Amino acid sequence: MDLTVEVDCPVAESFRVQQAAGMFDLPLAERVSQRFEVELPARDEAWSIGLIVGPSGSGKSTVARAAFGDSLDEAAAWDDGLAVIDGFGETPVRKVVELFTAVGFGSPPSWVKPYRVLSGGERFRCDLARALARSCEEPGAPADVIAFDEFTSVVDRNVARVCSAAIAKQVRSGVIPARFVAVTCHYDVAEWLEPDWVLDMATSQLTRRRLRRPRIELEVHRCRLEAWRLFARHHYLSGSLAKQARCYLATWNGEPVAFAATLPIIAQKGRRRFTRIVTLPDYQGIGIGMRFVEAVAELHVEEGLRINVTSSHPALIRHCQRSPNWRTVAVKKTGQSVANQRAAFAAYRNSAGRAVVSFEYVGSRQGSVVSSQEERDGEPGA
């Protein structure tokens, strides 16, 4: 589809305008105009993700607005008096949680905070989730296009790359029932977003290709209890952790990204359960969490132990239900309590009052290096 866009605006006749024109020998006219001629894929073509990229002032937003009209989303103000989970109008809370998870904003403690106190990365993910919510407003309607201006422009570049990968995964898996177009001045997101086409406004050239994102390799380490301090505030349960816990740390390029801990199951010899699973916010949404959990579970199996995970988190439940590496062992709508709890397990957290599903790990992984590149579509961040 060939697109021609011409924009113009009047030139103010002020003294300073005249001075600037004189200083730099600028020709003045009543109006100034600029013309953009580009090619874009047609809406009826088969594509899922697009990228419009180029330097500031190259016409990215102008072209995107002409091509996608009301589908171009720009960050809007949030009500400072509301938690961000309340900023989605009539969208059901389960769908809001799904959207948060889709963009890698998977920390329940942050969902109940107002927008103004969140980090820059968390704010960006909230803006993105609210834009994507438009794709869910009319269930059963044909998938539309959602274009997002200033994509990743105000966040750390590591957050930008991870969030790009998270969006790509969810769009291609159908969790987000719409096609997505990112509009940005940052070229570094291209291979992480894996677009089907790229329009580079620096050259006005359209490239039809699907890039492949870099491989992510995690290293899993047994660690001390003290490592939990870095992750505690991002977990939805108590910050305390039992001294009997076995603790594990996942690192990516030497940086800590995820934490997990297991405890013995009371009165069941040879069985353990995950008591804490946390992926730091900047790394959520690309499947790191569950890959790490399965690597830790495999270490337990190699010792002859059986290992369970119990959760009410929709993404974790969805992953375990779909994966052949887990089998469902219990579904409880109101959780369970433990009577006559031993003093030795005073920090044992039961699930009373929460709807939960329990799974046992039955799969097998090879090696100590975990890749989140394989089977990435449909795999949740934890």
Print the SS3 string covering 68-82. Answer: HHHHEECCCCCCCCC
State how far the Cα of 366 lies from the Cα of 247, in Å rounded to an integer.
21
The one-letter amino acid at 225: L
Confidence of residue 276 (pLDDT cuts 50, 70, 90): very high
Count Cβ atoms within 10 A of the Cβ of residue 350 and give its class: 0-12 exposed, 13-18 middle, 19 or more buried: middle
> Is the Cα torsion angle 47, 106, 379, 137 positive or negative in sign?
negative
- Of these ranges, 31-35, 150-154, 258-262, 339-343, the one predicted with the greatest mean pLDDT is 258-262
What are the phi and psi torsion angles at 326 (to 5°)? -130, 145
Torsion-angle region of 343 (φ positive above 0: left; ψ -120 to 50: alpha; else: beta): alpha
Q: Comparing 7-16, 137-146, 174-183, 368-377, which segment has the lowest mean pLDDT?
A: 368-377
What average pLDDT is seen over the chain? 83
State how far the Cα of 65 lies from the Cα of 70, in Å rounded to an integer.
8
Confidence of residue 30 (pLDDT cuts 50, 70, 90): low
C-beta of residue 259 within 8 angstroms of C-beta of residue 227: yes
214: Cα within 13 Å, side-chain hemisphere: 10
Report the pLDDT value the prediction gives residue 136, as an integer from 0 to 100.
Answer: 66
Could you read off the pLDDT of 120-155 as tens digits, one per residue?
A: 888 988 999 998 887 666 554 445 888 999 898 888
Confidence of residue 16 (pLDDT cuts 50, 70, 90): confident
Could you read off the pLDDT of 201-214 as tens digits, one per residue?
A: 999 999 998 778 88
Centre a 10 Å sphere on the Cβ of residue 59 and count the other Cβ atoms it contains: 19
Report the pLDDT value the prediction gives residue 174, as an integer from 0 to 100.
Answer: 85
Q: For 244-270, what is the mean pLDDT?
A: 94
Beta strand pairing call for 255-264 and 271-279: antiparallel
Could you read off the pLDDT of 258-272 as tens digits, one per residue?
A: 999 999 999 899 999
Q: In what order do the strands lie in the sheet with 178-184?
A: 72-73, 144-148, 178-184, 49-53, 197-200, 205-208
Written as six digits, the tokens of 369 are: 């290096």
Q: Identify the three-state secondary structure at position 355.
A: coil
Tell whether the model's pLDDT for residue 28 goes beyond 50. yes
Confidence of residue 339 (pLDDT cuts 50, 70, 90): very low
Tell whether the model's pLDDT for residue 76 goes beyond 80. no
| Architecture field, domain 217-371 | 3-Layer(aba) Sandwich (3.40)
Q: Indicate the CATH number of 40-208 among 3.40.640.10, 2.40.50.140, 3.40.50.300, 3.40.50.970.
A: 3.40.50.300
Report the pLDDT value the prediction gives residue 188, as an integer from 0 to 100.
Answer: 92
Could you read off the pLDDT of 155-192 as tens digits, one per residue?
A: 888 888 888 998 998 899 888 888 999 999 999 999 99
**For the chain, which residues make up each domain, given as ranges?**
40-208, 217-371
- Supply the pTM of this predicted model: 0.74
Higher pLDDT, 108 or 337: 108
